[in-house]
Amino acid sequence: KQEVTQIPAALSVPEGENLVLNCSFTDSAIYNLQWFRQDPGKGLTSLLLIQSSQREQTSGRLNASLDKSSGRSTLYIAASQPGDSATYLCAVSTNDMRFGAGTRLTVKP
Amino acid sequence: NAGVTQTPKFQVLKTGQSMTLQCAQDMNHEYMSWYRQDPGMGLRLIHYSVGAGITDQGEVPNGYNVSRSTTEDFPLRLLSAAPSQTSVYFCASSPIGSYEQYFGPGTRLTVT
């Protein structure tokens, strides 16, 4: 059974700092990995999708990497802003999609 | 495009009552799914469908039924609500082969 773990569960940083969120998974036979953002009381917004054959994807200040063999992905956020405050979830797809519990990020002005 | 829509946004039920959570998408996606989100546990898959007339169970299917009579709609039925089903429910869709899922805004369900 695929298990997805996100560390840390919560993170607080000052504005402008670069930061890394971690995601690990137990079964490397995945189709892809997806990073989502969730604002309080809202649904999920897809940030980046990395196919199993890819090593990384970039969108603006966000960069996600994938190391399938070690079962790890990282989400790098450059020059963090208060508007980045949200919960970030990673999910891996095999026959279905399994989610981590998320990292709650707070960026302080 | 409205994307993925869910109704209602909030619902309170008493134990033993039944109800249907509605989900619709206008993107002609073959794959649709239902998740529940509980504090500290991330999202867990309840049921999914790869096309009209085809459904399958996910990780936590007990207490829930689904059907898929059209590509657009994928309702989730609670036959006899229990307090353990208090949760936020999300519907999602994606094109087959893409696996990039689009989520609805969620339904917050409380069972007393």
CA angle A25/A30/A62 to nearest 5° reads: 70
Listed ranges B9-13, B38-42, B98-102; the one with the highest mean pLDDT:
B9-13
**Contact residues, chain A, for B35 at CB < 8 Å:** 99
Res B39: pLDDT: 84
**Contact residues, chain A, for B48 at CB < 8 Å:** 96
- Select the residue from A97, A98, A99 to test the B interface by mutation, using most B Cβ atoms within 10 A: A97
> Where are the alpha helices (H) located in A16-92, listed in sequence order?
none
Look at residue B31 and tell me whether its pLDDT is greater than 90.
Answer: yes
**Contact residues, chain A, for B99 at CB < 8 Å:** 31-32, 34, 49, 93, 97
Low-confidence spans in chain A with pLDDT less than 50: none
Res B7: pLDDT: 96
Look at residue B65 and tell me whether its pLDDT is greater than 80.
Answer: yes
The pLDDT > 70 percentage for chain B reads 99
Residue B76: closest CA among B32, B11, B16, B21: B21
Q: How far is CA B26 from CA A44, A64, B105, in A?
A: 18, 29, 15
* Surface-to-core class of residue B59, CB atoms within 10 Å of its CB (0-12 exposed, 13-18 middle, 19+ buried): middle
Look at residue B99 and tell me whether its pLDDT is greater than 80.
Answer: no
Res A7: pLDDT: 93
Tell me how close the Cα of A58 comes to any Cα of chain B, in angstroms. 16
Amino acid at B55: T
Are A31 and B103 within 8 A, CB to CB? no
Average pLDDT over chain B reads 94
